[in-house]
Structure 1
Amino acid sequence: MTPNAASPSSGPAGPSRRSFLASTAVATAAVAGGMPLLAACGGSDSGSREGTTSGRAADKLLPAYVAGTLARPDLPSKNGSAAGYTGKVDLAALQTSVPHKLGTGAPFTIMSPFWGSPPKGDCAYYKALDAAAGTKVTWQNQDGNTYGQKLGAVLASSSIPDMVVVPGWELVGKIANAVTAKFMDLGPYLAGDKVKKYPNLAAIPSDAWRMGIFGGALRGIPMPSAAATFIVPYYRKDLFDKKGWSVPTSPDEFLSWAKDATSAKAKVYACGDMSWTAFNIFGVRSSGPLGWTIGSDGKLTYRIEQPEYLEALEWSRKLFDAGVVHPDDKARSGDAGQRFTAGQILVFNNDTSAWYGKTAEQAKANPDFRIEGMDIFGPDGGHPTLYASQPATIWSLIRKGASKTTVENALAAADFAAAPYGTKERMLVDYGVEGTHYTVKGGVPVKTDQGNSEVINAWVMLAAPAPYFAHPDYPDVARKQVEWQQRMGAFMKKTSTYGMNIVEPNRYANLSSQFEQLEIDYVRGNKKLSDVQAAISTWKSSGGEKLRDWYKQLLDKNGSGN
């Protein structure tokens, strides 16, 4: 059972963080471009939707936490990591987490991002899940790479599906305000002990539920995320071993190794674009609300004001200038993951799921292939400073005005999707039906071609249990994923806005939208350092200072998240 990860069959367009972040730019550009995204959602009362709810006020809104008692992990969570299961599950002894069907079979619709080719609506996988959960779902799957555009258009319309999956990277512009305007308060169904009707939802950690509070009400059913979730700098261990290379432990060592390893004549380059890893190496905070924090000097600053921000960009540019980055990465064409498996680049960035995805993908095609995660080092080769990820970044929400029957059936589906590891429900969500979607070989489930085409990123988007890794076919990968997060988590800090779901005022919606493209251009040598510095000055004068005051008031009122 492989939770919270794309099936390896979903290919390069699967939900890696690379495609996730790319979609953010699409949504931002759509808002900036004057599309009629959410004109109906602004309104004179939009101010009431801004800000956050935390502390005691948030505690009153949360579901009661009831820890699950089923399969215990071999590697418990530590330093903000996910948990890990490294042993085989006895498939004949799977437990049941939902003793009775909670759905009544009443029909409802779900819109969700989808990476790859969606299966037919009447496919065997969807039928099996509906039968088991007591639901009747009509899926409106949308291309995950352009989901922001579709989401904005749908939320601006008068016709919204009963349930909508909203990823955090799409909460840009007016979409964040639309969540409050268009989706219902689930408190009457889930707050306090009411959640006990849905045992798997009750076992979701409270920090994740807290992120589901929008506009002063519990609206989002969360997909929990480990705090120690960082982009991984992957390297080809098989090729490193063959060449006798040591893994770099500082920015200078990396650049020196990269020059030696690159052979343009042989069409082998050291790496792809390493900007995301550079931000982690130099201790740059992420974008959005997590980019703000109060330092030891008592000052509240945003990520682009950190001296480390320019240092990270400068190092990334050095790699491009040295000619060690693959030309296609410079041109932003093709897929870096495919170049990595082909041996055209030796290091690339991706999310933690690529560890398993690439291992499984290459098992037959290239038995010698070995992928490892390079530990993130600091700017001087010492320990890094890393910033915790939010405890939830994807939510499923139910439209305002939905009938009680619709709400209860949607919650039944979410509860089924949140089943923990080692249960029949989790097995069905992750693998489908035995004999149809998977077979068992050596006690390990292996997807069939039909399973690879149908059992991908649908039900898993509705909700999830506390984060974990488990790969019965490659248990060592699960161990490595957990242990990497635990090592990196030891150097993790929380920003002042950690654990807060903050909706910024609409007037600042596009304030930082230019920086992603500017960073891309600068590291490739298409912009000057003075252009970046000018953009930072413009950011301050065109609203950044006022936004700082707004955040200061928010933190004064709600307290710090760290």
Structure 2
Amino acid sequence: MASQTGPSRRTFLAAGSAVAAGAAVPLLSSCSTSSATKDTSASDAKAELPTYAPVTAVRPDLPASPQGSMPGYFSYPRNPKPAFPTPPLEGLDEVSIIYPTYSAVPPKPGNNAFWQRLNKGAGADLKITLATGGDYPTKFQTLIAGGDLPDIAGFPVPTPDQPQVMSRLFADLGPYLSGDAAKEFPYLANIPTASWKTAVANGTIYAVPQPRALPSNPLFARVDLIQQLGANPEPKSYQEFLQLMKDVTDPKKSRWAFADVWGMVTHLQMMLGAPNVWDNSTGTFTSTWADERTKQALGMVRDMVKQGLFHPDAASATAQFTPLREYFTSGRTVMTSDGYAAWDIFGQQIGYDKVTAMVEPKHDGGGDARHFGGTGSQGLTVIRKGLGEKKTRALVNLLNWLCAPIGTQEHLYRKFGVEGTDFTWKDGMPTLTAKGSRELVDVQYITDAPTILGPGQKATVTTQHAWHTRVTAGLLPNPAVGRYSDTNSRKGSQLKKITDDAQLDIAFGRQPLSHWDDVVKQWRSTGGDKMAAEYSRSTA
């Protein structure tokens, strides 16, 4: 559900880059005898993804669109029916699992009735180890280096030597999930095709994704403040958007338009029609950093900062969720860029009637800009190699069980537990009690059913659904999603720092706009050109 939150795309990619920065040597050492090759891009492009077979356990109030917008629900269905006649792990004693979490760590099973019921529903003791999201890449590196692998593990992306790591240590799930084979696991087959692209390695499926919405970060706006100030909440061109920023900015009242440099550059790239990270329209990958429209967007942000439209602490707050969200909810900024799940976070904090998501206009007017698509998934989950066919199949079925959608008893139990103990009904929605909140084992970071909008108030869900439907109609995908670059796995964080630092230097006047040309040259020579070549080979 949209109200359940985790890291945004930016946070997740940064976590993966942490592995790239520090894990290469141990991973290479542990996988040096693998027969897998570094460059598997050509075979990956031919991998057979699961046949998509949508499942609707309960009819939504607002339908999903063929372009990928999520269905919407105004209430949570009461008395759902079980989807599984027997527990997925029936016959097994225990299963070891490790994954990153972005929620509070619950009490251990001995003092946790929720966890005990989760074990009963699964049919075995779930020996779960939780690691905080920011620490997980390092934890995973340690597991790989020491060979101390659990049965199921979250897999950070990108990971150096990813094809070799997958081939040597984790099970090939292609026999269970490629093509029509996935129909044996209907709730995994219910995951949209776009979410499976990142699960491919060595020309087959090696992981199960955690599906997420297709659009990248929305541009959120305090519509209440915009209306109070008599400004235009729906600008139809860049000039109207810039005027909106000027109209809402008033330093004497500690109110500014924005605070996130990188976020604004991205939304301006959309308005200008720049590529979404990469462009391969000619069959060769070229980076958005080398596109003149990106340089133009950066110059526009520099001018915004000069005009005083950015929060005075923007240099330190850029991409830092805590201050950016606090500025927005307190009204010190009127717009912010954040993950789509933040819509519910903001709505619950300050009221849904005060928050909306804007649709970026084309720079010169004439309609909506193409919103950038994300990865369609937040993370990957893998199964240890060498467990035997029977156990491996049971573990795939456990992941299938964890993907049972809204309208099934399994969904209700894993999200909310037992009525009267873990949750009570409030406004048509199961609401966790203090005990339920404390004991909840948030397994959505292993895998989950496809994301939905709501359940929630009709007006709110309808507004969210309208935004998602509108932006997904013309979504601009990143063509590199689902393609592996060995250079990106090793140098991703280094390359990201080059462009991140330069954007801040230019935006805040520490370097002229012309400095960007030198930055692009440095980025290309440091590894950007190799990344482009590796991605291009996958389309040859």
- Residue of 421, 428, 432 corresponding to 2:413: 428
Paired position in structure 1 for 2:121: 132
SS of aligned partner of 1:512: helix
- Residue of 338, 341, 344 corresponding to 1:353: 341
**Map 1:100-499 → 2, pairs under 5 A:** 100-104=86-90, 105-122=92-109, 123-167=112-156, 170-174=157-161, 177-227=164-214, 229-247=215-233, 248-273=235-260, 274-287=264-277, 291-295=278-282, 300-332=285-317, 334-363=322-351, 370-382=354-366, 383-404=368-389, 406-455=391-440, 458-472=442-456, 474-494=457-477, 496-497=479-480
Q: What is the CA deviation profile of residues 391-440 of structure 1, one whole-angstrom value per residue up to 9, with x for unaligned ones?
A: 43422111223344543443233112111121111112222222222101
SS of aligned partner of 2:97: strand
SS of aligned partner of 1:315: helix
- Residue of 89, 99, 120 corresponding to 2:85: 99
The 3 A distance-change label for structure 1 pair 249 and 269 is same
Paired position in structure 1 for 2:486: 504
Q: 1: CA distance between counterparts of 2:36 and 2:42? A: 13
Unaligned runs of 5+ in 2: none
- Range with bigger deviation, 502-511 or 441-450: 502-511
The 3 A distance-change label for structure 1 pair 18 and 537 is closer
Q: 2: CA distance between counterparts of 1:329 and 1:174? A: 37
Paired position in structure 2 for 1:533: 517
The 3 A distance-change label for structure 1 pair 541 and 22 is closer
| Matched AA of 1:220 | A
Q: Aligned pair count? A: 527
Q: 2: CA distance between counterparts of 1:271 and 1:176? A: 41
Q: Is the 8 A contact 1:81 1:482 kept in 2?
A: no
Q: What is the CA deviation profile of residues 351-376 of structure 1, one whole-angstrom value per residue up to 9, with x for unaligned ones?
A: 1111112212335xxxx861100111
SS of aligned partner of 2:334: strand
Shift of 1:484: 0.7
Q: Is the 8 A contact 2:414 2:443 kept in 1?
A: yes
Unaligned runs of 5+ in 1: 7-13, 557-562
- Residue of 30, 35, 43 corresponding to 2:22: 30
The 3 A distance-change label for structure 1 pair 144 and 189 is same
Length-normalised TM-score, structure 2: 0.87
Q: 2: CA distance between counterparts of 1:97 and 1:192? A: 22
Q: 2: CA distance between counterparts of 1:177 and 1:527? A: 42
- Residue of 48, 57, 78 corresponding to 2:65: 78
The 3 A distance-change label for structure 1 pair 21 and 54 is closer
Q: Is the 8 A contact 1:259 1:324 kept in 2?
A: yes
The 3 A distance-change label for structure 1 pair 310 and 224 is same
Shift of 1:70: 2.1
The 3 A distance-change label for structure 1 pair 29 and 304 is same
Q: 2: CA distance between counterparts of 1:340 and 1:507? A: 34
| Matched AA of 2:136 | Y
The 3 A distance-change label for structure 1 pair 321 and 111 is farther
Shift of 1:386: 3.3
Q: 1: CA distance between counterparts of 2:530 and 2:428? A: 59
SS of aligned partner of 1:153: helix
| Matched AA of 1:254 | F
Q: 2: CA distance between counterparts of 1:65 and 1:84? A: 16
Q: 2: CA distance between counterparts of 1:431 and 1:52? A: 43
- Range with bigger deviation, 523-532 or 126-135: 523-532
| Matched AA of 1:126 | W
Q: Does 1:15 align with 2:7?
A: yes
Q: Detail structure 1 runs of 4+ shifted over 6 Å in the superposition.
A: none
Shift of 1:25: 5.1
The 3 A distance-change label for structure 1 pair 44 and 412 is closer
| Matched AA of 1:310 | K
Q: What is the CA deviation profile of residues 279-325 of structure 1, one whole-angstrom value per residue up to 9, with x for unaligned ones?
A: 333333344xxx24124xx6542221211111222222222222222
- Range with bigger deviation, 547-556 or 218-227: 547-556
| Matched AA of 2:137 | G
Q: 2: CA distance between counterparts of 1:190 and 1:4? A: 29
The 3 A distance-change label for structure 1 pair 5 and 443 is closer
Shift of 1:527: 3.6
Q: What is the CA deviation profile of residues 26-47 of structure 1, one whole-angstrom value per residue up to 9, with x for unaligned ones?
A: 444435xx87565434668553
Q: 2: CA distance between counterparts of 1:370 and 1:3? A: 18
- Range with bigger deviation, 121-130 or 371-380: 121-130
Q: 2: CA distance between counterparts of 1:156 and 1:201? A: 30
The 3 A distance-change label for structure 1 pair 429 and 265 is same
RMSD (CA atoms): 3.0
- Range with bigger deviation, 479-488 or 447-456: 447-456
Q: 1: CA distance between counterparts of 2:516 and 2:349? A: 39
Q: Is the 8 A contact 1:41 1:177 kept in 2?
A: yes
The 3 A distance-change label for structure 1 pair 505 and 349 is closer
Q: 1: CA distance between counterparts of 2:20 and 2:211? A: 25
Q: 1: CA distance between counterparts of 2:104 and 2:357? A: 29
| Matched AA of 1:276 | T
SS of aligned partner of 1:509: helix
SS of aligned partner of 1:373: strand
Seq. identity, %: 25
| Matched AA of 2:356 | E
Q: Is the 8 A contact 2:276 2:478 kept in 1?
A: no
